[in-house]
Amino acid sequence: RADHRHDGAQMTASRAGVSARRPVILLTGFGAFPGVPVNASWLLAERLADAAASRFPGYRPIARPLPTEWRAAPAALADLNGEHRPALALHFGVSSRANGFNIEARARNVCAPSIDACGELPAAACIAENGPDHVPASIPVRRIVERLRALGIAAEVSRDAGSYLCNALLYHALTADPATPRAARTGFVHIPTALIDAKPERAACERPACGLDWETAVSGGLEIIAIALGRPAV
């Protein structure tokens, strides 16, 4: 019996080792912030990680929430990159301007004087005093949008990620010190704020302008991951 227990422990450790060696797909969403008590981006990241585990067995999808805070969000992302060294990082946020998937083509070096979830303002009007004005995302934005539209899923290329935490997080992710761990590929996706109305079980948007429901959001998210990883369409 002791031998059987030893063998079982070895098998468990072996499986854990294999899982740890698989490249990570990091999926993040934001928590609540003023005006958005329940953030659909985090709920989508969770659901997408579950679905991606079977769609991409060679990878280890993980979902993590990020605080909607000017200082804490970049710090949390740096910790996640250091811990997981992801092959792909896809960050999700909500936008009242989005009808479907808005795939962000770039981040801008700008911060709006808007309070975060802790009531704090950004430290300055820009993210990095001597940083570039714009930084391109490192995922194939146009190819992703073309694929989603071919499937009948609402999608747009966006060149303006706003000036709140979504844009700031993407800028930090793309301009991290090359000497520190960061994702091989990084992108940001805005989804409609209207995807949820404070109830995670709600199946579809209440507003007619919203072009996504939860099923389409997850299936579209899987396609975004596939194209970002350079995987063939299925």
Instruction: Characterize the bridge pairing of strands 106-108 and 134-136.
Output: antiparallel
What distance in Å separates the CA atoms of residue 82 and residue 22, rounded to the nearest whole number?
16
- Determine which one of 69, 172, 190, 223 is catalytic: 190
What distance in Å separates the CA atoms of residue 62 and residue 77, rounded to the nearest whole number?
13
Give SS3 for 141.
helix
- Determine which one of 111, 166, 205, 210 is catalytic: 166
CB crowding 173-197: b at 16 or more within 10 Å, else e:
bbbbeeeeebbebbbbbbbbbbbbe
| Residue showing tokens 């999700």 | 92
- Determine which one of 84, 91, 104, 210 is catalytic: 104
What is the four-CA torsion angle of 30, 36, 37, 43, rounded to 10 degrees?
-40
126 labelled catalytic: no
First to last CA, the chain: 47
Q: Residue length, the chain?
A: 234
190 labelled catalytic: yes
111 labelled catalytic: no
What amino acid positions are annotated as catalytic residues? 104, 166, 190
